[in-house]
Amino acid sequence: MRARSIGLILLAVLTLAASRPLSAQVCEINGDGATIPKTWIDKDYSGELISADSLALFSSIELSLVRGVIFGRHGRIFRDSCIQGFLEGVSWYHADSAFTNSRLTAMERRNLDVVRDYEASLHNNVELGDLRYWMKKRQVIPRGAYPVAQGDELRLLIAEIAAIHGKRFDDVPWMQAYFEDRYWYVPRAAYNDRMLSAAETRNIAIFDSLLHERGTGIKPGEMGRYANVVITDSMLRGTDLSELRLLRNEIYARHGYRFKTPYLAEWFSSEEWYTVRPDFEESDLTPIDRANIATITAQEDRFHQALSTTLLDKRSIGALSFESARKLRNEIYARHGRSFKDPSLQGYFSSLPWYHPSNAFKDSDLNPVEEANAKFLLAYQDQAYSEIKRYEG
């Protein structure tokens, strides 16, 4: 369910993208340019609370324009060309690349809540930004409304449930940046999974199962389900390299092994089920545990070898997450001893026994296959990010 560390470089990408307006385009409804009544354009959303009933005549596109107007009063620049194109045709709108959600008043936030809840109620399938609406309903999402999302979009939906309660994602900078861009997000240092309602916990489980159905393999935190199951290679399809490492070590963690590697110790200490046992011994591992460790290790070895010997394609990497693609790409360089300015990457690779940083590293150390794979994974990252950045709250 959880993703792990991404480099801080993405934060710069997020900032750059947020400050760059798209060309003005006004979306259409049945061939006509989408708009809303002038009274709604000029309304003082900081002074009066709108009612849900007053939104009944608006389409989904028009509702997004109402939302855009509330933000637009403070100069927000939207990546959504429909909203941005509309705002650029409003006389009072002045784009401001320095906009932050802190400019919104309490009443404006309440009005945004009304609009977003109404938008969510119109969606046939759950979308990003809808989970607060379902939280208020205290309802398990019915099968007919399951999200059609996959990959990182679905991972964000899972994280959104916890983010509503203030969970921070400091170990996943791109995800933390995404939620900090939501007007409703208030991080809480005291967040705990026990804050989740029974319905929210069930919805997380549903979304997790959808991740598996849509091309991802076993994920860290799930090995408890496989304590008595012999894992096969096919069950690991879609599980990336960093996740395989965590899965292998999770088998030890579930027996109480104390990790000396800071990266692993930090990861497992955040799991509620993890309890260190000072008397742990290798003999605590069952025959099934040992077989599963061997299967995972063999898969890791194939992954490592493929990075330098086999050209990667979409089929070979499956539904790789953004952050995992970045780790995989940088492993190509790490294998040659490259050092990383990003502390999250440097910390991750420093925890691996094969990593030996060298000041002598140069890009020409990569062979042609490695160069091609690094370019492929970078393009994959860019595509994954472009899908995520379409969603604005």
For the stretch 330-381, pLDDT in tens is: 999 999 999 998 888 898 889 888 899 999 999 999 999 999 999 999 988 8
311: tokens are 């050209």
Q: What is the DSSP letter of 50?
A: P
pTM for the predicted model, two decimal places: 0.62
The listed range with the strongest mean pLDDT (12-26, 240-254, 359-373) is 359-373
The listed range with the strongest mean pLDDT (13-27, 104-118, 211-225, 260-274) is 104-118
Q: Give the three-class secondary structure for 22.
A: coil
Q: Quickly list H helices, the chain.
A: 9-18, 38-41, 60-72, 81-87, 106-122, 131-137, 151-163, 173-180, 198-213, 241-253, 262-269, 287-309, 314-317, 322-334, 343-350, 368-388
Residue 218 CB: number of other CB atoms within 10 A?
A: 23
Residue 33: φ, ψ to 5°? -60, 135
Residue 263 has pLDDT above 90, yes or no: no
Residue 25 has pLDDT above 50, yes or no: no
Instruction: Taking residues 200-224, report their average pLDDT.
Output: 83
Residues in CB range of 331: below 8 A, 6 or more apart = 241, 307, 349
Q: Tell me what the pLDDT averaged over the chain comes to.
A: 85
Q: Decide the pairing of beta strands 28-29 and 32-33.
A: antiparallel
Q: What is the DSSP string of 143-173?
A: GGG-----HHHHHHHHHHHHHTTT---TTSH
Residue 7 has pLDDT above 50, yes or no: no
Q: Say what the pLDDT of residue 386 is.
A: 66
Q: Give the three-class secondary structure for 28.
A: strand
Residue 80 has pLDDT above 60, yes or no: yes
Residue 29: φ, ψ to 5°? -125, 115
Distance of CA 305 to the CA centre of its chain: 28
Place of tokens 């490492």: 245
> In angstroms, what CA-CA distances link 90 with 135, 211, 233?
35, 42, 57
16: tokens are 């750059």
Instruction: Taking residues 306-311, report their average pLDDT.
Output: 88
Distance of CA 320 to the CA centre of its chain: 12
Question: Residue 391's pLDDT band (boundaries 50, 70, 90)?
Answer: low
> Which of 61-70, 171-180, 236-245, 301-310 has the weakest average pLDDT?
236-245
Residue 230 CB: number of other CB atoms within 10 A?
A: 11
Q: Say what the pLDDT of residue 380 is.
A: 85
Residue 72 has pLDDT above 60, yes or no: yes
How many whole angstroms separate alpha carbon 132 and alpha carbon 200? 10
Residue 3 has pLDDT above 60, yes or no: no
Instruction: Taking residues 242-263, report their average pLDDT.
Output: 90
Q: Give the three-class secondary structure for 311.
A: coil
Q: Say what the pLDDT of residue 225 is.
A: 83
Query: What is the percent of the chain with per-residue pLDDT over 90, rounded to a whole number?
Result: 52
Q: What is the DSSP letter of 78?
A: P
326: tokens are 């970045």
Place of tokens 């096969």: 232
Place of tokens 């496989």: 226
Residue 59 has pLDDT above 70, yes or no: yes
Segment 98-134, tens digit of pLDDT: 999 999 999 999 999 999 999 999 999 999 999 999 9
Domains of the chain, CATH where assigned = 217-311 (1.20.58.1690)
How many whole angstroms separate alpha carbon 342 and alpha carbon 349? 11
Residue 241 has pLDDT above 80, yes or no: no
Look at the alpha carbons of 142, 148, 151, 153 in this order and tell me if their dihedral is positive or negative: negative
Question: Residue 388's pLDDT band (boundaries 50, 70, 90)?
Answer: low
Residues in CB range of 169: below 8 A, 6 or more apart = 3, 159, 163, 175, 176, 179
Place of tokens 């790409």: 329
Look at 122 and 235; give whichever has higher pLDDT.
Answer: 122
Residue 269 has pLDDT above 60, yes or no: yes
